[in-house]
Amino acid sequence: MHSSTSSSEGKRTYSVRVLKRATALFLAVMLLVCAALEIGTRSFIYRSSASLGRINNELQAAMKLDRQTSPKTALIVGNSLLIADIDIAEANRRLTRGWSLQRFAIEQTTYLDWYFGIRKLFAYGSRPAAIIVCLEPRHLLEPTLRTDLFMHYLLNTADILPVNRMVHLTPTETSDLFFASTSTFYGLRREIRKNFLVRILPDFPQLTALITVFPHIPVDNRELLTAGMARLEAMHNIAVQEDTPFIFMLMPPVDASQIGVFQQISHETFIPIVIPLTNDRIDKSILEPDDYHLNEAGRRIFTWKMADLLKEALR
C-alpha cells in the first residue's frame, strides 16, 4: 500500500509537469502570435497606408544613396513642411546640372528626430553627396521627439542610451524605444489603429485637418543664437565626420528679424543656411486653410526660390 506522503508527492510532480507543459504551450502560442503580427504587418501595412508606404520607400531610397553616383544626389530631410512646400520634381528640373534631390520626410518630426535620424542613416551605410535639413526656426529648438515613427524609422538601437540621457525618458519609455526600433508591429501599432479608423470613417482625415491648429509660437532670437547654434553645430559635425556637405534650409514661417540671427550663425559655424521665403513675403493667397503649409501657388514660388539658392550652396 502506498503511503499518503508518496501519493501527495506524486500529485505534486504531476502538477509541476502539467504546469510546465501549459507554460511551454502558452509561450509557443504567444511566439506564434507575435510572429504572425510581425509578418502580417510587414506584408500589408505599406500596401494599406499610403503615408507609411511613402515613408518606407523614401527610407529605402535614402539608405541606398552613394556619393560616387552621377548625378550627385543630395538627401533632403524634414517634416510636413518639406512635403507640402517643395515640389521635388520641379526642384530637380531647376537645379544645377549634376545634382538631384532625394526626399525623406516624416510628418511632425523636429530637430531631435533628425539629429538621431541622420546618425542612423550614416550608420546604416547611406552616403549622400550632401545632406539638407529643412525645419522652421521653432523646430530647431523643439525638445521633444516624434515618438513611434521616430523610434521605428529614425532610431538606431545603439543610440537608445544617448536618447535616454538627452530627453530624460522613464524606464517604460526607454523600453518602448527598443521594441519600437526592432519590431514593425510595435513601432507602427498606433499608425495601424489610425489606418483602421480611416477605413471605418473615411472622412476622418478631413475632420482632423479642419480642427488641427498650427500655433505660431514666437521664437526668442537669443535662444536661436545660443541653443540653436549649438544644435546646428552638433548636426553639422555628424555630416563632417562622414565627409558630407551639410546645408540647413529654413522653412516658413520665418520672421524677417531672424534673418540676421541665422546669417550670424552661418558666419560663425560655416554652415550654409538657405532662407527661400520669410513671413513678410507670404500672404493668405499662397497658404493652405491651416495658415501654415503652402498651397500649390506657394509651393511653386518656394520651390523656384529654393532651387536658385541651392545652386549656390551646392557648388
The domain spans of the chain are: 59-146+212-313
At how many degrees (to 10) do helices 111-123 and 160-167 cross?
160
What local confidence, expressed as pLDDT, does residue 39 receive? 63
Residue position matching grid coordinates 556637405: 245
d(CA 170, CA 167): 9
Q: pLDDT-based confidence at 18, cuts 50/70/90?
A: confident
What local confidence, expressed as pLDDT, does residue 177 receive? 77
Higher pLDDT, 299 or 192: 299
Higher pLDDT, 225 or 192: 225
Q: Residue 139's Cα: distance from chain center in Å? A: 13
150 within 8 A of 117, measured Cβ to Cβ = yes
On the question of pLDDT at 113 being above 90, the answer is yes
Paired strand residues for 139: none
Least confident of 98-107, 191-200, 201-210: 201-210
d(CA 47, CA 45): 5
Dihedral sign from CA coordinates of 236, 240, 242, 248: positive
Q: pLDDT-based confidence at 24, cuts 50/70/90?
A: confident
Q: What is the 3-state secondary structure of the chain?
A: CCCHHHHHHHHHHHHHHHHHHHHHHHHHHHHHHHHHHHHHHHHHHHHHCHHHHHHHHHHHHHHCCECCCCCEEEEEEECHHHHHHCCHHHHHHHCCCCEEEEEEECCCCCHHHHHHHHHHHHHCCCECCEEEEEECHHHHHCCCCCCHHHHHHHCCHHHHHHHHHHHCCCHHHHHHHHHHHHCHHHHCHHHHHHHHHHHHCCCHHHHHHHHCCCCCCCCCHHHHHHHHHHHHHHHHHHHHHCCCCEEEEECCCCCCCHHHHHHHHHHHHCCCEECCCCHHHCCHHHECCCCCCECHHHHHHHHHHHHHHHHHHCC
CATH 3.30.1360.10 for domain 59-146+212-313, yes or no, is no
Q: pLDDT-based confidence at 229, cuts 50/70/90?
A: very high
What local confidence, expressed as pLDDT, does residue 161 receive? 85
Least confident of 102-106, 114-118, 144-148, 194-198: 194-198
* Average pLDDT score over residue span 200-222: 65
Burial 273-295 (b: 16+ CB within 10 A, else e): bbbbbbeeebeeebbbeeebbbe
On the question of pLDDT at 206 being above 60, the answer is no
What local confidence, expressed as pLDDT, does residue 22 receive? 72
What local confidence, expressed as pLDDT, does residue 172 receive? 82
76 — phi, psi (to 5°)? -110, 120
Least confident of 39-53, 80-94, 174-188, 249-263: 39-53
d(CA 142, CA 78): 14
Residue position matching grid coordinates 527598443: 178
24-33, 59-68, 170-179, range with greatest mean pLDDT:
59-68
